[in-house]
Chains A and B, each alone.
Chain A
Amino acid sequence: MSQYILETEDVEYEYPDKTRALQGISLGIQKGKKIVVMGPNGAGKSTLFLHFNGILKPKKGRVFFDGKQVEYNRRYLTQLRKKVGIVFQDPDTQIFAGTVFQEVSFGPMNLKLEADEVKNRVNKAMADAGVCDLAQKPTHLLSYGQKKRVCIAGVLAMEPEVIIFDEPTAYLDPKHSHILLGTLDELHQSGKQVIVSTHDPDLAYSWADYVLIIKDGKLLEAGSAEKVFMDDEILKQADLKKPLLLEISEVLQQKGIVGKKYPKTVEELKGIL
């Protein structure tokens, strides 16, 4: 068994219009860690994710799932997509069905499950994503936040091992971002591998075990949240702001108010002070 659930090795990818979105990227997603992928717009995060479930095939290099090289035949890809789910950024380009229930049933139906099993899975996924009360609502009458949760339910219903969230908090208000983070934590605790991309350093710092920073289709840096965000040079290169909490604790340390401690939440900071 590999230590990595997903790995890439010198992966290069070029879009048909010759945009070189990935330029030899090598990285590993460690099993059981809360992973955040960061990087400026156009860095190649979404393109990378599409390699994780075999939608895109690298022009050069290799992709591994659980230590085994990804094959690009239909049978393998079906299995891979069952195990690696992606929640894309824009719900309007994911939702196609009429009612929430129908939408969420799409994935399990493609897994060719029995109708009863589909129903069970849909109900469970809707409960986990908090959209049970919307089951019979038409999808086009939902709010943005509701649509987002329906997309999550749609992926959960397939019961993947890995769930990738591409910029899940974009356009969400702070309250719904917070609820979403709770959902991510629950998923992590229930044993799913969660991978999130975001622009928000504060979110990344407080949530992630492990941060990967991507720039220009290459891996710029990877490591624990503290390690990555304390490296001012890397932050500058990646055009990232230092997380507020980290900044505060660094100031407090310089002034000798606290020892070498790195609180991840405001509550932890209060506890230390």
Chain B
Amino acid sequence: MLLDGFAYSNRLRNIHPGEKMAFSLITMVIGFFPSIYSCGLIILIIAAAVILIGKVPVKTYLRLMLLPVFFLVASLLPILINTGVNPDSTLIYFIFFKSTIGITYNSLIKSGLLFMRSMALVSCLYFISLTTPILDIIAVMKKLKLPDILIDLMFLVYRQLFVMMDTAESIYVAQNARLGYATFSSGINSLGRLVSYLIIKSCSDAQRLYTALVSRGYEGELKVLEPSYNTSIKNIILIAAIDTVLLIIALKTGGTIK
């Protein structure tokens, strides 16, 4: 939910969400090209945009980037380290019983490239989540004429998530205050009650929300006045320029490290 807060408060908030989404998506596609240079550049450009222009604190951004690193490292290890390698072509190796275990030049490139590509794609996702509120994303989806029912559902689920979290938290605090989580078995019991209460409450909340909406003239479509963002030629040119450069670099250097 940290991300959500930044999405509303960052300095890139008022840029047309369509422009931001286009930038993120196009850059993501370029990030698929296996080039360490273009991927590295994507990571740097997005970090600069989010931190320098969007004013998201450096520490927060680094912490967010570190999250996928843990998963990545775990999954890259098997690619990086090989068994039964030919000692001649390895960079580092040791012999374990009768087989050689080591890192080859090839496996280093392969895992390095995978790492950079993953981080570049993650950067693109963070760019969107840190600069664009869900509601703006939904507004763009509306413009793209996605089915209303799908969009309205996303909208309500997103909104109810926060209401439910508030409720869950206050119940948890109340249970905890009465030692509801003091032992393992009472904890399980309390948690069960919390969940069943949340389900019942969601149903009655839904009924009430419906009544309130009908009172305000709801007739099956959740219409609100979407904020109007100005499309900026400057931004579009900038996005096109950055992505063209990235694409050229990706195509020229794709696949190998010289």
Contact = CB atoms under 8 A, between A and B. Distances in A.
B215 A86 contact: yes
B225 interface: yes
A85 B215 contact: yes
B210 to A, nearest CB: 9
B182 to A, nearest CB: 30
A103 interface: yes
A88 B5 CA distance: 28
Contacts of A86: 212, 215
Contacts, number: 100
Contacts of A158: 216-217
A102 B135 contact: yes
A227 B219 CA distance: 43
Contact of B222 (A82, A106, A111, A141): A106
B216 A110 contact: yes
Contact of A138 (B8, B211, B215, B224): B8
A78 B208 contact: no
Interface residues of B, number: 32
A170 interface: no
A110 B219 contact: yes
B223 A109 contact: yes
A108 B134 CA distance: 23
A96 B159 contact: yes
Nearest to A91: B212
Interface string A51-85: 00101000000000000000000000010011001
B181 to A, nearest CB: 25
Nearest to A86: B215
Given A88-B208, A90-B208, A98-B155, A110 B217 contact: yes
B224 A109 contact: yes
Contacts of A96: 155-156, 159, 209, 213, 222
Interface string A134-147: 00111111000000
A101 B225 contact: yes
Contacts of A136: 227
Nearest to B161: A140
A55 B8 contact: no
Interface stretch (A115-123, A179-187, A211-219): A115-123
Interface of A: 50, 53, 55, 78, 81-82, 85-86, 88, 90, 92-99, 101-103, 105-111, 115, 118-119, 122, 136-141, 154-155, 158
